[in-house]
Amino acid sequence: MSAAGVVDPARVVDESGRVVLEGVGKRYDTVRGPVDAVADVTLEIAPGEVAAVVGASGCGKSTVLRMLAGFERPTAGSLVVGGRPVRGPGPDRGVVFQDYGLFPWLTVAENVRWGPRRQRLPRGVVRRRTEAVIETVGLTRFADRFPGELSGGMQQRVALARVLANEPAVLLMDEPFGALDALTRTSMQHELRRIHREAGTTILLVTHSIEEAVYLADRVVVMAGGASVGVPGHVREVVAVDLAGERDVNAPDFNAVERRIAALVHAGTDGPGGGADAADRA
């Protein structure tokens, strides 16, 4: 069975993959008083779009992703996925963690069919989906292995297959390839592109690699600020990646986009007031 057959093609155009954030803020109450991790994040991601989020450490990338996942509640604003306000975690939003989060006592196949099983899908559907997504990530030969017996790259494939088995409308990935070596990382990026072409899922990808962001994303969200610089994390700019055809990380136009985003990421702190203080710090 081909991987393309797993996912309903209609899902690419339906609205279940639309992500809308409006004035989203998160304030953590800590022992040293309240900390504004992010403030006033407004963003819309179209169904089937790939959006990458980049920005300095501590600017609130994970916080935004975790609120979308339903792990954290916003303290301001609203998050809506597929027309429904986010109230908690759910199988419509698959999360891929940097540290995989696989169940070590279950085999690859058992990890992957966890989601469909919990939805109480018919046995045949569970089996077909499990087999298909394991094939999609190229792990058919390893279906009966335990996660501890696999390399990091293979474990992350399992984590990806595990959420794909739920046919989520949105994929939320927090530095999914951050723990992998450069070669594995590149091959996982190719694979993610291919899977996205086939499944058409909306993807929000948090990454530290600007190259990865430009390679994979339709738009790159550049975040700035963060509790440590005294300004809540916020969206500094959203850069559309208008690169036609197959993307080539060595092409001049690719590098131009990369440079533009790097400049935005490294422009120091600009509070909501503007970039004036960026010059002072430089």
Partner 1 sequence: MRRPTAALWAPRLGRLALGLAVLALLVAMWHLGVRGEWVLVFDIKMAFLPEPLDVAVLLWDFAFGGVNDDAFSRTLWEHLGASTLRVLAGFALAAVLAIPLGVLMGRFALVNAALDPAVNLFRPIPATAWVPLVLLIIGFGSQATVFLITLSAFFPILLNTLGATREVSPRLVEAARMLGTRPAGILLRVVVPAATPGIVSGLRIGLGLAWVILVLGESNGIDTGLGSMITLAREQVRTDRIVVGMIVIGVAGFCSDRLLVLGLRGLFGRRPLMRAA
Ligand X SMILES: Nc1ncnc2c1ncn2[C@@H]1O[C@H](COP(=O)(O)OP(=O)(O)OP(=O)(O)O)[C@@H](O)[C@H]1O
Q: How far is the CB of 265 from partner 1 (least distance, A)?
A: 27
Chain residues binding ligand X by CB under 6 A are 28, 30, 35, 37, 55, 57-63, 226-228, 233
**CB atoms inside a 10 Å sphere around CB 35:** 14
Residue with tokens 């990369």: 258
**Nearest in space to 93 (alpha carbons), one of 23, 157, 152, 16:** 16
First-to-last CA distance in the chain?
A: 56
- Side-chain-side CA neighbours of 50 within 13 Å: the count stands at 21
Q: Within its chain, how far is the Cα of 124 from the centroid?
A: 30
How far CA 189 is from CA of 84, 107, 207, in Å, comes to: 30, 24, 12
Q: How far is the CB of 115 from partner 1 (least distance, A)?
A: 4
Which of Mg ion, ligand X, partner 1, none is residue 230 near (CB under 5 to 8 Å by kind)?
none
Nearer to ligand X, 91 or 178 (CB): 178
**CB atoms inside a 10 Å sphere around CB 159:** 25
Q: How far is the CB of 217 from ligand X (least distance, A)?
A: 17
User: Among 48, 70, 232, 233, which residue interacts with partner 1 (rule: CB under 8 A)?
Assistant: 70
Nearer to partner 1, 34 or 104 (CB): 104
d(CA 194, CA 219): 18
Nearer to ligand X, 40 or 110 (CB): 40
User: Among 50, 51, 95, 160, which residue interacts with partner 1 (rule: CB under 8 A)?
Assistant: 95
For 148, the 3-state DSSP assignment is: helix
Question: Per CB under 5 A, which region of 37-45, 57-65, 78-86, 211-219 contacts Mg ion?
Answer: 57-65
- Per CB under 8 A, 72 contacts partner 1: no
Positions touching Mg ion (CB under 5 A) are 62
Interface contacts to partner 1, rule CB under 8 A: 69-71, 88-91, 93-95, 97, 99, 101-106, 114-115, 118-119, 146, 148, 162-163, 166
